[in-house]
Amino acid sequence: MNPADEILDIVDEHDRVVTQAPRGEAYARGLRHRCAFIQVRDAEGRLFVHRRTATKMVFPALYDLFVGGVVGAGESYDEAALREAEEELGVSGLPAPTYLFKFLYEDGAGHSWWSAVYEVRCDLPVKPQVEEVQWHAFLTEEEVAARLGEWEWVPDGLVAHERLRAFRAAG
Protein backbone atom coordinates (compact mmCIF):
# COMPACT_ATOMS: atom_id res chain seq x y z
CA MET A 1 0.00 0.00 0.00
CA ASN A 2 1.13 3.53 -0.72
CA PRO A 3 1.88 5.23 2.64
CA ALA A 4 -0.22 8.22 1.56
CA ASP A 5 -3.28 5.93 1.46
CA GLU A 6 -2.91 4.63 5.03
CA ILE A 7 -5.98 5.59 7.07
CA LEU A 8 -5.28 7.57 10.26
CA ASP A 9 -7.43 8.63 13.17
CA ILE A 10 -7.73 12.42 13.15
CA VAL A 11 -7.83 13.77 16.70
CA ASP A 12 -8.63 17.00 18.52
CA GLU A 13 -6.53 19.01 20.96
CA HIS A 14 -7.44 16.49 23.69
CA ASP A 15 -6.37 13.47 21.59
CA ARG A 16 -9.97 12.36 21.02
CA VAL A 17 -10.78 10.81 17.63
CA VAL A 18 -13.01 13.10 15.56
CA THR A 19 -12.76 11.47 12.10
CA GLN A 20 -10.45 9.46 9.85
CA ALA A 21 -8.48 10.41 6.75
CA PRO A 22 -5.74 9.04 4.49
CA ARG A 23 -2.24 9.99 5.62
CA GLY A 24 -1.57 12.03 2.47
CA GLU A 25 -4.70 14.11 3.09
CA ALA A 26 -3.85 14.50 6.79
CA TYR A 27 -0.42 15.90 5.87
CA ALA A 28 -1.70 18.09 3.04
CA ARG A 29 -4.46 19.62 5.18
CA GLY A 30 -2.50 19.78 8.44
CA LEU A 31 -4.92 17.45 10.24
CA ARG A 32 -3.86 16.48 13.77
CA HIS A 33 -3.15 12.76 14.15
CA ARG A 34 -1.10 10.41 16.34
CA CYS A 35 2.54 9.30 16.24
CA ALA A 36 4.77 7.03 18.30
CA PHE A 37 8.42 7.90 19.01
CA ILE A 38 10.66 5.10 20.28
CA GLN A 39 14.16 5.73 21.61
CA VAL A 40 16.21 2.58 21.00
CA ARG A 41 19.35 1.64 22.92
CA ASP A 42 21.59 -1.35 22.43
CA ALA A 43 23.07 -3.55 25.18
CA GLU A 44 25.88 -1.00 25.66
CA GLY A 45 23.42 1.85 26.16
CA ARG A 46 24.19 3.51 22.83
CA LEU A 47 21.38 5.30 20.97
CA PHE A 48 20.08 4.17 17.60
CA VAL A 49 20.37 7.12 15.21
CA HIS A 50 19.39 7.08 11.57
CA ARG A 51 18.94 9.19 8.49
CA ARG A 52 15.56 9.02 6.84
CA THR A 53 15.33 8.23 3.15
CA ALA A 54 14.78 11.04 0.66
CA THR A 55 11.42 9.51 -0.29
CA LYS A 56 9.78 10.02 3.13
CA MET A 57 6.57 12.12 3.03
CA VAL A 58 7.63 14.24 6.00
CA PHE A 59 11.17 15.42 6.85
CA PRO A 60 12.94 13.51 4.05
CA ALA A 61 16.69 12.84 4.33
CA LEU A 62 16.94 14.28 7.86
CA TYR A 63 18.53 12.56 10.85
CA ASP A 64 16.39 11.15 13.65
CA LEU A 65 17.00 10.10 17.26
CA PHE A 66 13.85 7.96 17.33
CA VAL A 67 12.25 5.23 15.28
CA GLY A 68 8.51 5.36 14.94
CA GLY A 69 5.76 6.82 12.89
CA VAL A 70 2.06 7.33 12.56
CA VAL A 71 -0.52 5.41 14.57
CA GLY A 72 -2.97 3.76 12.18
CA ALA A 73 -6.73 4.12 12.48
CA GLY A 74 -8.00 2.03 15.41
CA GLU A 75 -4.45 1.19 16.52
CA SER A 76 -3.23 1.98 20.04
CA TYR A 77 -0.05 3.93 20.71
CA ASP A 78 1.43 0.78 22.31
CA GLU A 79 0.63 -1.34 19.24
CA ALA A 80 2.07 1.28 16.90
CA ALA A 81 5.24 1.64 19.00
CA LEU A 82 6.06 -2.07 18.79
CA ARG A 83 5.06 -2.36 15.11
CA GLU A 84 7.05 0.72 14.07
CA ALA A 85 10.13 -0.24 16.09
CA GLU A 86 10.24 -3.76 14.65
CA GLU A 87 9.59 -2.51 11.10
CA GLU A 88 12.18 0.25 11.11
CA LEU A 89 14.84 -1.80 12.92
CA GLY A 90 14.13 -4.87 10.77
CA VAL A 91 13.74 -7.18 13.77
CA SER A 92 11.08 -9.40 15.29
CA GLY A 93 10.66 -10.43 18.89
CA LEU A 94 11.52 -7.00 20.29
CA PRO A 95 10.26 -6.45 23.84
CA ALA A 96 7.28 -4.13 24.12
CA PRO A 97 8.55 -0.54 24.27
CA THR A 98 8.00 1.21 27.61
CA TYR A 99 5.65 4.19 27.46
CA LEU A 100 7.13 7.33 29.05
CA PHE A 101 4.89 10.34 28.24
CA LYS A 102 2.86 12.07 25.54
CA PHE A 103 2.92 15.63 24.17
CA LEU A 104 1.29 17.64 21.40
CA TYR A 105 3.74 18.60 18.66
CA GLU A 106 2.79 21.67 16.65
CA ASP A 107 5.23 23.60 14.50
CA GLY A 108 2.96 26.40 13.26
CA ALA A 109 3.57 25.29 9.67
CA GLY A 110 0.80 22.71 9.42
CA HIS A 111 2.40 19.83 11.30
CA SER A 112 0.43 18.75 14.35
CA TRP A 113 0.39 15.37 16.06
CA TRP A 114 0.05 13.82 19.46
CA SER A 115 3.39 12.19 20.17
CA ALA A 116 3.72 9.23 22.52
CA VAL A 117 7.34 8.72 23.58
CA TYR A 118 8.69 5.25 24.40
CA GLU A 119 12.00 3.55 25.05
CA VAL A 120 13.20 0.03 24.29
CA ARG A 121 16.40 -1.94 24.47
CA CYS A 122 17.31 -3.87 21.33
CA ASP A 123 19.85 -6.65 21.75
CA LEU A 124 18.99 -8.10 18.33
CA PRO A 125 21.06 -7.45 15.20
CA VAL A 126 19.28 -4.68 13.30
CA LYS A 127 18.59 -4.64 9.57
CA PRO A 128 16.70 -1.37 9.05
CA GLN A 129 14.05 -1.06 6.35
CA VAL A 130 15.69 0.31 3.21
CA GLU A 131 12.48 2.21 2.35
CA GLU A 132 12.68 4.08 5.67
CA VAL A 133 16.36 4.26 6.67
CA GLN A 134 19.21 5.54 4.49
CA TRP A 135 21.95 5.26 7.15
CA HIS A 136 22.10 4.11 10.78
CA ALA A 137 24.43 3.59 13.73
CA PHE A 138 24.35 3.12 17.48
CA LEU A 139 26.06 6.20 18.95
CA THR A 140 27.15 7.11 22.47
CA GLU A 141 25.55 10.10 24.21
CA GLU A 142 28.75 12.04 23.55
CA GLU A 143 28.69 11.21 19.84
CA VAL A 144 25.03 12.28 19.62
CA ALA A 145 25.75 15.54 21.48
CA ALA A 146 28.60 16.33 19.06
CA ARG A 147 26.34 15.81 16.05
CA LEU A 148 23.31 17.72 17.32
CA GLY A 149 24.77 20.98 16.07
CA GLU A 150 26.26 19.51 12.89
CA TRP A 151 23.54 17.41 11.27
CA GLU A 152 20.06 18.43 10.13
CA TRP A 153 17.56 16.68 12.42
CA VAL A 154 13.83 16.08 12.17
CA PRO A 155 12.26 18.92 14.19
CA ASP A 156 9.69 16.77 15.99
CA GLY A 157 12.44 14.38 17.07
CA LEU A 158 14.48 17.25 18.51
CA VAL A 159 11.45 18.40 20.53
CA ALA A 160 10.86 14.83 21.73
CA HIS A 161 14.57 14.52 22.63
CA GLU A 162 14.50 17.72 24.70
CA ARG A 163 11.29 16.69 26.44
CA LEU A 164 12.75 13.25 27.16
CA ARG A 165 15.87 14.83 28.70
CA ALA A 166 13.64 17.03 30.91
CA PHE A 167 11.47 14.03 31.81
CA ARG A 168 14.51 12.03 32.91
CA ALA A 169 16.00 15.00 34.78
CA ALA A 170 12.74 15.41 36.73
CA GLY A 171 13.22 11.79 37.73
CA 33 – CA 49 distance, rounded (Å): 24
Ligand-binding site membership of 152 (annotated): no
Q: How many domains does the chain have?
A: 1
One digit per residue, the tens of pLDDT, for the chain of length 171 reads 788 899 999 999 999 999 999 999 999 999 999 999 999 999 999 999 999 999 988 899 999 999 999 999 999 999 999 999 999 999 999 999 999 999 999 998 888 999 999 999 999 999 998 988 999 999 999 999 999 999 999 999 999 999 999 999 998
Q: Where are the beta strands (DSSP E) in 25-163?
A: 33-41, 47-52, 63-64, 67-70, 98-106, 112-121, 133-139
Ligand-binding site membership of 141 (annotated): no
Among 68, 34, 67, 65, smallest CA distance to 140 is for: 65
**CATH number of the domain residue 13 falls in:** 3.90.79.10
pTM reported for the whole predicted model: 0.95
- Its domain, for residue 39, covers 3-170
